[in-house]
Structure 1
Amino acid sequence: MTPAAAELAFRAAAVALLLVLAASLLSDFRNVLAARLGAAFALGSAAHAVSYSVGTSSLVPAWHAPLIALSTGNIVVFWLFTRALFDDEFRLRRWHGLTWALVAAFSFVSCLWIAPGGHVRVAVTAVNLIVLGFIALAIVQTIASWSADLVERRRRVRIFIVCAAALYGGLNALLQILAGSDVGDVANTVNTGVLASIVTAIAYAMMRVDGADLFPAAAEAAPAIAASQPVGEDAADQKLIDALMRLMADERIYRQENISIGVLAGRLKIPEYRLRRLINQGLGYRNFNVFLNSHRIEEAKAALADPAQAEVPVITIAMDSGFQSLGPFNRAFKAVTGVTPTEYRRLKVNAV
């Protein structure tokens, strides 16, 4: 088989797998933001598989330009996908769509006007520096939020998905910046082969994890805080759950600044993985921050409903409950109660 034929076969295999993956995500989890972004990322990656070539050229076929623009804009989708993948409460904002549009538009203009105008190296370098920037953001997001994920199997799969995609995208961006205009068919064949292999590995990894673990079927309300939550049959686990709830109720450890699952595990003298399992399987939480915020919000609700604290500013109640700023408190409070803290206080006052 010639290098050109092998390259075509790899491209076709990658596109086919990506389209199947996108269709599967939309079919099974169309109401979940992370799954929709995953499907969008798969479709953008299909555009990349069709249009990408190693090396630089000032002459890009007109029909390639939209595909290249979609491929470049896909790095923004990848960043948003990693955010939604590690944070069940993440929501899209208008500026996210605007960011995607700006990146895709710049890539489109680079293909049709900047590069043909004699600035091919400038265009290629600028586009790929943007790609590297969003890959860096995705990696930082992954590192920052990975430890809060309490579902062990999806933690492993998520880190693999992000690392594999970031490694491929980063190496390709660097290669485009450093490569000349003529790198040969072998380089493109190797590149498409690597892409097809990575797509296959990601699809295989996702199939090995329960879909409900990776993408929750629906946003569920946080479990009620109670010492009598369902736990496993192991008496030792029950004692640990009781000890954990005492830390929450009596010491209010959730108020502690920068409290982490490692610190909490240290207080209970157990490994982190065991504490993750207890909070996830015993108390029903999927995210450590949601677990902490549920306690913080219960304390805030009590304070907001207390007539004696009617003049205490909302931000003071938020800070006293363990939140570091007003914005995250307002978002978390409304996600749980359906109203803002100010509205909640007004409703409680009117009910008296």
Structure 2
Amino acid sequence: MTLPTLDLAFRAASVALLLVLAASLLADFRKVLAARLGAAFALGSAAHAVSYSMDVTSRVPLWHAPLIAISTGTIVVFWLFTRALFDDEFRIRWWHGLIWALVTAFSFAGCVWIAPSGHVRFSVTVVNLIALGFIVLALWQMIASWPADLVERRRRVRVFIVCAIALYGGLNAVLQIATAGHHIGTAAETINAGVLACTVAAIVYAMMRVDGADLFPAAGEPAPPRVFSQPAADASADQKLINALMRLMADERIYRHENITIGVLAGRLKIPEYRLRRLINQRLGYRNFNVFLNNHRIEEAKAALADPAQAEVPVITIAMDAGFQSLGPFNRAFKAVTGVTPTEYRRLKVDAA
């Protein structure tokens, strides 16, 4: 088999896997933002598999330009996908679309105008620096958010997905900056296509090994607690720990503390962090530590908003007293739980009194 044929086979395999992945995500989880963004990223990656070349020395074929532009814009989708994957409260805003449009438009201009006018290296360098910037943002989101995930297998798969994509994308960006304007041999192109196919296959395989409902939960609400058969002594020990945890929440209101982490909470209970993760997930039914904390904060806020003696207390004061750091996250979390805003909730309680 010749190198060009092998290159084509690798690209075709990548496109086929990515299209199947996108179709599967849309068929099973189309109402979940992270899954929709994952499908969009898969489709953009398919455009990358079709059009990508490290050998950027002159004008690209005109029909390649839209595919290359979409491929470049996919790095923005990757960043948004990572945010939605690790933050159940993340929502798409209009300016996210504007960022994608600007990056895509610049890439298209680079293909049809900047590079052909003799500025190949400038165009390639800027596009790939943009890509590296969004990869760094995605990795930062993962590092900041993954400790709150309480489902161990899902945590590992999510980290693997993001790291695999970031590694492939980052290496490609660096290599393309280094080789911009120089001819690259067919062997290098074929190796790159093979690495892409292996990366896509590994990600698809990893996603198949975890329950889709765990990887893309439909909501940030608690899942039904799992029932496990275990020795009576272990069950009794777990119940004592849960009782101690609930006392910390109810009596000390530890959820009010700034920057409270699961590690800090485990230290207060004098147990390993992994055990506390398992207890909150398997016994209390929560998939995310922040959701667990926020539910306690919201219960305190609900009581304060319904209290006639606190009718003149500003909503932001109640939010801060309950442990929220700002009003925006409090409003979103409160509405997600109650279906109304804090102000509407207060008015409803006043009217019902």
Partner of 2:265: 264
Tell me which residue corresponds to 2:78.
78
Tell me if the contact between 2:65 and 2:112 (Cα under 8 Å) persists in the aligned partners: yes
Q: Shift of the alpha carbon at 1:88?
A: 2.0
Structure 2: give runs of 5+ residues left out of the alignment.
none
Give me the whole-angstrom Cα distance separating, in 2, the residues matched to 1:294 and 1:280. Answer: 14
CA pair 223-34 structure 1, distance change in 2 beyond 3 A: closer
1:311 aligns with 2:312: yes
Whether contact under 8 Å (1:84, 1:91) holds in the other structure is: yes
The answer as to whether partners of 2:11 and 2:49 remain within 8 angstroms in 1 is yes
DSSP 3-state at the match of 1:147: helix
The separation in 2 between residues aligned to 1:245 and 1:230, in whole angstroms, is: 19
1:251 CA displacement: 0.5
State percent identity of aligned pairs: 80
1:127 aligned residue: 127
Partner Cα distance (2:338, 2:50) in 1: 47
Spell out, residue by residue over 1:5-48, the C-alpha distance to the aligned partner (whole angstroms, 9 max, x if none): 11111111111111111111111111111111111111111000
Cα distance change on mapping 1:230 and 1:43 into 2, 3 Å: closer
Amino acid at match of 1:241: I
Matched residue type, 2:306: A
Deviation at 1:231, TM superposition (A): 6.6
Give the distance between the partners of 2:44 and 2:226, measured in 1 at CA: 43
1:22 maps to amino acid: A
1:199 aligns with 2:200: yes
Q: Quick check: 143-152 or 229-238, which moved more?
A: 229-238
Cα distance between partner residues in 1 of 2:48 and 2:326? 40
Are the aligned partners of 1:153 and 1:213 in contact in 2 as well (CA < 8 Å)? no
State the 1:223 CA deviation: 7.1
Please tell me the residue identity of whatever aligns with 2:319: A
Number of residue pairs aligned between Structure 1 and Structure 2 = 347
Q: 1:166 to 1:55 in 2, by over 3 A?
A: same
C-alpha distance in 1, partners of 2:331/2:202? 40
Partner of 1:108: 108
Following superposition, the deviation at residue 145 of structure 1 comes to 0.2
Which segment drifts farther, 128-137 or 84-93? 84-93
Q: CA deviation at 1:57?
A: 2.1
Does the C-alpha gap of structure 1 residues 223 and 12 become closer, same or farther in structure 2, counting only changes over 3 Å? closer
Which residue number in structure 2 is paired with residue 153 of structure 1? 153
Cα distance in 1 for partners of 2:208, 2:185 equals: 36
Asked if the contact 1:231–1:283 (Cα under 8 Å) also holds between the matched residues in 2, the reply is: no
8 Å contact 2:221–2:286 — kept in the other structure? no
Q: Deviations over 1:79-112 (max 9, x none)?
A: 1111111122221111111111111111111100
SS at match of 2:148: coil
Q: What is the distance in 1 between the residues matched to 2:176 and 2:248?
A: 53
Change (3 A) 1:132 1:332: same
Residue 178 of structure 2 corresponds to 178
The two structures have a TM-score, normalised by structure 2, of 0.95
Deviation at 1:221, TM superposition (A): 3.7
Q: Is the 8 A contact 2:221 2:291 kept in 1?
A: no
Contact 1:157 1:206 in 2 (8 A): yes
Q: Which residue of structure 2 aligns with residue 58 of structure 1?
A: 58
Other-structure match for 2:22: 22
Answer whether contact 2:26 2:39 (CA < 8 A) is retained: yes
Cα distance in 2 between the residues matched to 1:80 and 1:5 = 35
Given that 1:142 and 1:159 are in contact with CA atoms closer than 8 Å, whether structure 2 keeps it comes out as: yes
Give the equivalent residue in structure 2 for 1:91. 91
Q: How far apart, CA to CA, are the structure 1 residues paired with 2:202 and 2:185?
A: 27
SS across alignment from 1:209: coil
CA RMSD of aligned residues (A): 1.4
1:334 aligns with 2:335: yes
Following TM superposition, the consecutive aligned residue runs of length 4 or more in structure 1 with deviations greater than 3 angstroms are 220-224, 229-233
Stretch deviating more after TM superposition (38-47 or 88-97): 88-97
Q: Which moved more, 1:316-325 or 1:50-59?
A: 50-59
Shift of 1:341: 1.1
Distance 1:123 1:301 in 2: 54
**What does the per-residue CA deviation read over 1:105-128, in whole Å, with 9 as the maximum and x for residues that have no partner?**
111111001111111111111100
1-side partners of 2:90 and 2:289: how far apart? 15
Match of 1:280 in 2: 281
Q: Distance in 2 between the 1:212 and 1:223 partners?
A: 10
Shift of 1:55: 2.8
Distance 2:322 2:252 in 1: 12
- Could you tell me how far apart the structure 1 residues matched to 2:33 and 2:318 are? 31
Displacement of 1:58: 2.6
2:144 maps to which residue? 144
**Corresponding residue number in structure 2 for 1:212:** 213
Q: How does 1:230-269 map to 2 (within 5 A)?
A: 233=230, 234-269=235-270
Question: Does the alignment pair 1:295 with 2:293?
Answer: no
Residue 181 of structure 1: CA displacement? 2.1
Partners of 1:157 and 1:205 within 8 A in 2: yes
